[in-house]
């Protein structure tokens, strides 16, 4: 048996500062810091299992191979037995060496049956469809790194998406600020702020940020300034510029080589700090980060007119309740700016007197008793095309979840604007700590049955770490809640997203904001960092699946008819009505040419109106099986009718009973030509696999299809009229051609009849 080998269908939501690979941290259930020594490399090294489509195709190819081999062997055996009985028993002729030629021709017929039965064009159709889709997806901002990800997206049932840059524009601006107990919903100027407070804010933002973050003027007049580097830091730098201060002048005075210590951002700390020397001796620490985290570390705050006040617990709660929560509910990311001084001389109430350099390794002590300078609200608008894209996903049976490092109120607001959260819907919105509490047992170990109670209703996971994201993805994939294992897609841009991207069935890395580690762990790179591009990936993935199904529907119809005709012909007339060279031409039509024609069909929006196929649904649906058997029935009736009464019907000499190897006849040429005509017109039927009646819809949107169809038709005319002995054909008259075309067009009419048969009433054997 010949075998077929199928080709291997081979965010941390950026917080307000930079993240370096050397600072990759992950959190255990208690929130402790655990340094990843191997970390991302270990988690991203595992191999993914065989893709859904590849597994189904491999199984189908094996089944077809066994069936084809069996029929081919039976055909040869029957032909040989019939020849021996006729020659040596009935006619009682002695053996002649020339009889070996007859036996070889019988063997050739058997091999030809096997060639036709085994779908050699299937791997070609898979490769062509994937390659064509990958090329087209590039235009839709999807850079496919692994071919199998393309078709896997067609079966996606869940998407875990970042917020910043994916659902939002990632062009951040400060739109609200709270300074000296004054809430401003417009950008203040230095005249609105006490001088010493304004100076500290400007210096704290300018120095305590990556110097690679910059705001550059637009290339053309009227263009918005270009944000380079971390977008949150760019928003803060824009705030400094709005105050009327040039941040670059401050950086020129305090260069990076003057930094005493830098506490870089990570997913657990959710803040960053920079220590610089003071002009009069000592050190100053600037800190910025998630507002509720920084405020807990503050002991002082500047009140009215810049007067320093103690920051009591009641004041903290009031600030969170009256300022931070309303900002977050408006979809704003809240950032707190704070500082602390270490001085060698007599210290003020908010300063620390030191005799020697502080122990900067004691981060917990250094980052405490801070003085709050301000809280700002940063807006990152939802991309205008995202709500519609999410509606399309939900209509297509795909659940979208947001996994973000933002405040839970901010996440809820953005999720509502995007359409992830709907009114009156029973859903869960959890923070990372609560998520960990729910999925771990008393020993702190993650339990699958506990995750299964959370993820079905979970829509937003806020204040999450990359480890939380990985645990969620793994929990959904390994779930035992549903019969069909979920197919999960994940987006990520940070280095720590690597494990989640690798664990997912399809990992999407951000092409603009993504790190090299994230891109390496991904299957597809979004070159525009836009969620709507994921919807296009789903569309193309489903189109790949359907293109393969169209090819199978077409090819299996030809397989069934050709094999049965050869087998019955061998039994009934001791010869195959379709000669070996003719069947090889048919094989070329249905393999190479058909795979190219049907594998290049463009996707239609209708693909997003159905649920995903899932992992266990058969590749050949009941509707497809109905079409295959229905068309095979029609074609077999026509061919056998022509075989047994065609000579009488068309008033031509019969081709039955001729000596093996005799010249071509009009009778068998008409049978061959009719078969090809029916195959060609059925190729148009095969473009629809879900019971659609309008089989010519979109026919002329695919020039590859109709070019190949016309080329095949012209080639058939040449073969019939001029093939002679080479193709065992005899030139036909116009009337005979019209009969052949008439029977071919009949497949289109018969296709409407087959479509009218209710699929649900078919026997279960077709499912």
Which of helix, strand or coil describes residue 379?
strand
State whether residue 451 is helix, strand or coil: helix
Catalytic site residue 330?
no
Beta-bridge mates of residue 271: 289
Q: What is the DSSP letter of 440?
A: B
Report the distance separating Cα 165 and Cα 529, nearest Å.
6
With tokens 């399809």, the residue in question is 506
Q: Which two tokens stand for residue 324?
A: 């931070």
Task: Give the count of alpha carbons within 13 A of 728, CB side only.
Answer: 19
Q: 214: part of which helix (H) or strand (E)? A: strand 214-216
Please enumerate in sequence order all residues whose Cβ is within 8 A of that of 244, keeping only pairs 6 or more positions apart, or say none: 189, 190
Q: Which residues are bridge partners to 215 per DSSP?
A: 227
Instruction: Quote the CA–CA distance of 274 and 339 in Å, as a whole number.
Output: 9
In three-state form (DSSP H/G/I as H, E/B as E, the rest C), the secondary structure along 156-196 is CCEEEECCCCCCECCCCEEEEEEECCEEECCCCCHHHCCHH
> Rounded to whole angstroms, how far apart are CA atoms 47 and 106?
48
Cα separation, 551 vs 221, in Å, equals 54
Strand partners, 379: 173, 332
Nearest-angstrom CA–CA distance, 637 and 640: 5
- Catalytic residue selected from 11, 12, 148, 162: 162
Decide: helix, strand or coil at residue 506.
strand
Cα separation, 560 vs 563, in Å, equals 5
Greatest distance between any 2 Cα atoms in the chain: 128
Residue located via tokens 């075998």: 3
**What's the CA gap between 767 and 764, in Å, rounded?**
5
E strands, 432-531, in order: 458-462, 488-492, 506-510, 524-526
Point out the residues that are catalytic. Answer: 162
């Amino acid at each position: 048996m010949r075998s077929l080998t199928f080709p291997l269908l081979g965010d941390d939501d950026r917080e307000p500062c930079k993240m370096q690979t050397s600072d990759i941290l992950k959190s255990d259930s208690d929130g402790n810091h655990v340094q990843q020594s191997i970390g991302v490399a270990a988690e991203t090294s595992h191999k993914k299992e065989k893709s859904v489509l590849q597994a189904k195709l491999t199984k189908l190819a094996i089944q077809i191979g066994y069936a084809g081999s069996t029929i081919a062997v039976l055909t040869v055996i029957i032909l040989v037995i019939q020849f021996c009985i006729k020659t040596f028993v009935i006619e009682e002729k002695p053996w002649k060496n020339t009889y070996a030629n007859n036996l070889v021709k019988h063997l050739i017929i058997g091999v030809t049956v096997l060639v036709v039965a085994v779908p050699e064009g299937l791997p070609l159709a898979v490769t062509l469809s994937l390659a064509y889709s990958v090329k087209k997806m590039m235009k839709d901002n999807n850079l496919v790194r692994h071919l199998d990800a393309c078709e896997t997206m067609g079966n996606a049932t869940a998407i875990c998406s970042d917020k910043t840059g994916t659902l939002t524009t990632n062009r951040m601006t400060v739109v609200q600020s709270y300074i000296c107990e004054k809430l401003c919903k417009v950008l203040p100027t230095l005249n609105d702020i006490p001088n010493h407070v304004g100076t500290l804010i400007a210096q704290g933002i300018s120095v305590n940020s990556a110097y690679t973050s910059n705001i550059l003027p637009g290339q053309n007049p009227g263009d918005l300034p270009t944000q380079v580097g971390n977008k949150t830091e760019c928003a803060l730098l824009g705030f400094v510029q709005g105050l009327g201060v040039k941040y670059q002048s401050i950086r020129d005075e305090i260069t990076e080589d003057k930094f005493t210590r830098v506490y870089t951002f990570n997913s657990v700390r959710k803040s960053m700090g920079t220590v610089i020397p003071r002009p009069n001796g000592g050190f100053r620490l600037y800190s910025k980060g998630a507002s509720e985290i920084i405020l807990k570390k503050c002991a002082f705050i500047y009140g009215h007119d810049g007067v320093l006040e103690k920051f009591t617990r009641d004041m903290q709660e009031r600030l969170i309740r009256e300022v931070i929560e309303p900002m977050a509910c408006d979809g704003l990311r809240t950032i707190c700016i704070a500082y602390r001084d270490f001085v060698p001389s007599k210290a003020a109430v908010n300063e620390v007197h030191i005799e020697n350099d502080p122990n900067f390794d004691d981060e917990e002590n250094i980052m405490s008793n801070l003085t709050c300078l301000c809280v700002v609200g940063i807006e990152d608008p939802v991309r205008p095309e995202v709500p519609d894209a999410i509606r399309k996903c939900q209509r297509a049976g795909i659940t979208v979840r947001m996994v973000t490092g933002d405040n839970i109120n901010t996440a809820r607001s953005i999720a509502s604007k995007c359409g992830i959260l709907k009114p009156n819907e029973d859903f869960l919105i959890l923070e990372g700590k609560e998520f960990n509490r729910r999925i771990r047992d008393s020993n702190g170990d993650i339990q699958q049955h506990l995750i299964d109670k959370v993820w079905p209703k979970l829509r937003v996971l806020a204040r999450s770490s990359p480890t939380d994201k990985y645990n969620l993805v793994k929990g959904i994939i390994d779930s035992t809640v549903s019969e069909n294992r979920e197919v999960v897609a994940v987006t990520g841009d940070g280095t720590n997203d690597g494990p989640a991207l690798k664990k997912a069935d399809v990992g999407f890395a951000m092409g603009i904001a993504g790190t090299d580690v994230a891109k390496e762990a991904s299957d597809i790179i979004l070159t525009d960092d836009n969620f709507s591009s994921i919807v296009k990936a789903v569309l193309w993935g489903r189109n790949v699946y359907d293109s393969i199904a169209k090819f199978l529907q077409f090819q299996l119809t030809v397989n069934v008819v050709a094999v049965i005709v050869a087998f019955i012909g061998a039994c009934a007339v001791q010869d195959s009505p379709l000669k070996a060279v003719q069947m090889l031409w048919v094989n070329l039509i249905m393999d190479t040419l058909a795979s190219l024609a049907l594998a290049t069909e463009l996707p239609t929006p209708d693909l997003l109106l159905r649920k995903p196929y899932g992992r266990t649904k058969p590749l050949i649906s009941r509707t497809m099986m109905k079409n295959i058997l229905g068309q095979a029935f029609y074609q077999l009736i026509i061919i056998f009718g022509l075989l047994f009464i065609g000579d009488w019907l068309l008033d031509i000499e019969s081709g039955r009973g001729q000596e093996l190897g005799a010249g071509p006849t009009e009778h068998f040429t008409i049978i061959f030509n009719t078969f090809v005509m029916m195959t060609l017109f059925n190729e148009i039927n095969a473009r629809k696999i879900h019971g659609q009646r309008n089989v010519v819809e979109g026919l002329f949107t695919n020039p590859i299809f109709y070019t190949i169809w016309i080329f095949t038709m012209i080639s058939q005319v040449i073969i019939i009229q001029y093939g002679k002995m080479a193709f065992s054909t005899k030139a036909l008259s116009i009337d005979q051609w019209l009969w052949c075309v008439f029977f071919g067009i009949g497949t289109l009419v018969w296709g409407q009849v087959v479509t009218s048969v209710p699929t649900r009433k078919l026997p279960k054997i077709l499912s």
